[in-house]
Amino acid sequence: MTPAATAAGTRELPHPTRAEIRLEGVLHALSDPVRLSIVRDLAADSEALFACSHFDLPVTKSTTTHHFRVLRESGVVRQTYRGTAKMNGLRRDDLDALFPGLLDALLAAAARQAAAVRSG
């Protein structure tokens, strides 16, 4: 069934093209603490791909799916299937090309705030 989807053993997921990524959408995606923490984890090892299940999130599976979809549809992450796992990677190249310095500034800001919270 659904032969096209199973063609190469990987279902395809819709991603916005680089030109379709909107700043407002990126900011909205990152304005949620759960999603911001996902992106921070992803950025810590920038080339790595992590499965959804690798993140230890304080929400259920279905909510996790929802958050990853928001991140994908806003253009922040790229998702690909690998067997039964869905691998997630930051779209750093696209984001850096569209908004130079923004991702680094955001990550630095998040790190700073996390440090402030820990010590305060």
Partner DNA sequence: CTCGTAGTACGTCGAATGTCAAACTACGGC
Partner DNA sequence: GCCGTAGTTTGACATTCGACGTACTACGAG
Q: Which amino acid is at 14?
A: P
65 binds DNA (CB under 7 A): yes
With CB under 5 to 8 Å by kind, the binding choice for 105 among a second copy, DNA, none is a second copy
**Euclidean distance between CA atoms 8 and 76, whole angstroms:** 25
Question: Is residue 76 within the footprint of DNA (CB under 7 A)?
Answer: no
The residues binding a second copy (CB under 8 A) are 19, 22-25, 27-28, 30-33, 36, 98-102, 104-106, 108-110, 112-113, 116, 120
Rank residues 52 and 110 by Cβ distance to a second copy and give the closer one. 110
Cα 45 to Cα 20: distance, rounded to the nearest angstrom: 26
Is residue 52 involved in binding DNA (CB under 7 A)? yes
Answer yes or no: are the C-beta atoms of 42 and 112 closer than 8 Å: no
Instruction: In angstroms, give the least distance from the CB of 43 to DNA.
Output: 18
Rounded distance, CA 66 to CA 54, Å?
A: 16
Using CB under 7 A as the binding rule, whether residue 99 contacts DNA is answered as no
22 is a site residue for DNA (CB under 7 A):
no
Supply the minimum distance, in Å, between the C-beta of residue 84 and a second copy.
32
Bridge partners (DSSP) of residue 85 are 82
Query: Is beta strand 85-90 parallel, antiparallel or unpaired with respect to 77-82?
Result: antiparallel
